[in-house]
Amino acid sequence: MRQPGDGIGGYVIEEVLGSGEKGTAYLARHRRLDRRVVIKESAGQNTTETQRRGGGDRGTAFAADLRHPNVVEIIDAGECDDGRTWFAMQYVDGTDLAGLLAERGGLLAPAEAIGIARSVAAGLDYAHSRGLVHGELTPGDVLLERTTGRVVVADFGISGRDASAEEDHRAVARLLSRMLTGRKSDGTVWPLPASSLNPSLPSAVDGVLAVAMTG
């Protein structure tokens, strides 16, 4: 893992944001332009080869062409001497949906939840119109800008697996259900209606979520 002060491409790492099975995310700054970005570096050469076979590198290239208010912009990309790949994306000063849910005790007001879901859906629909699906949408991929409240979707093109627009649509429904009920979903219909998990919800929400999550 790289440390603050290390270089990658034309960037200097300022902070390690997190690390997982697929790689590590860093807050970095361009040496000449003094522009902050988030850099995501693959975990290793084996991961890189898997992504190549599954279209991950190609997907990142496609994602770099996306320009939409609800999609994070990919700015730069490269490959390290050891075969690991990295890409730099727009830095969004704020939090992600996972953090917001944690702050709110796992539950959002219906109007706020629906607004976030609509913005996510708008970004996904635009990407779908350009032939790209997300494939692994999670609360951590939904970023909320601190000053404007703008909602943007991150990490297009890195899942490295085949996926469909319908899967993305179901993922939005799962996010909405989680925001409204405070419960995670495995993508199937809830064993209990959403309105029974959150009595403040109108019963009409139950049918909408059930249909959306099952496609």
Q: Which domains does the chain have, with CATH numbers?
A: 7-90 (3.30.200.20), 94-214 (1.10.510.10)
Please report the sign of the dihedral spanned by the C-alpha atoms of residue 166, residue 68, residue 157, residue 183: negative
Residue 120's contacts (CB-CB under 8 Å, 6 or more residues apart) are 70, 137, 142, 151, 153, 172, 175
Q: Which of 5-14, 18-27, 56-65, 148-157 has the lowest mean pLDDT?
A: 56-65
At 191 the pLDDT is: 54
Name the band, by pLDDT with cuts 50, 70 and 90, for residue 156.
Answer: confident
pLDDT tops 60 at residue 201? yes
Name the band, by pLDDT with cuts 50, 70 and 90, for residue 59.
Answer: low
- How far apart, in whole angstroms, are the C-alpha atoms of residue 59 and residue 212? 26
- Phi, then psi, of 127 in degrees rounded to 5: -60, -40
For the segment 66-77, the average pLDDT, to the nearest whole number, is 93
Q: What's the mean per-residue pLDDT of the chain?
A: 86
pLDDT tops 90 at residue 26? yes
Name the band, by pLDDT with cuts 50, 70 and 90, for residue 159.
Answer: low
pLDDT in tens, 112-137: 999 999 999 999 999 999 989 999 99
Nearest partner of 73 among 43, 101, 35, judged by Cα: 35
Name the band, by pLDDT with cuts 50, 70 and 90, for residue 62.
Answer: low
Q: Which of 60-64, 125-129, 165-169 has the lowest mean pLDDT?
A: 60-64
Nearest partner of 126 among 73, 183, 80, judged by Cα: 73
- Residue 184 corresponds to which amino acid? K
Answer yes or no: are the C-beta atoms of 73 and 153 closer than 8 Å: no
Crossing angle for the helix pair 204-214 and 165-181, to the nearest 10 degrees: 150
> Percent of the chain having pLDDT more than 90?
59
At 29 the pLDDT is: 97
For the segment 136-148, the average pLDDT, to the nearest whole number, is 95
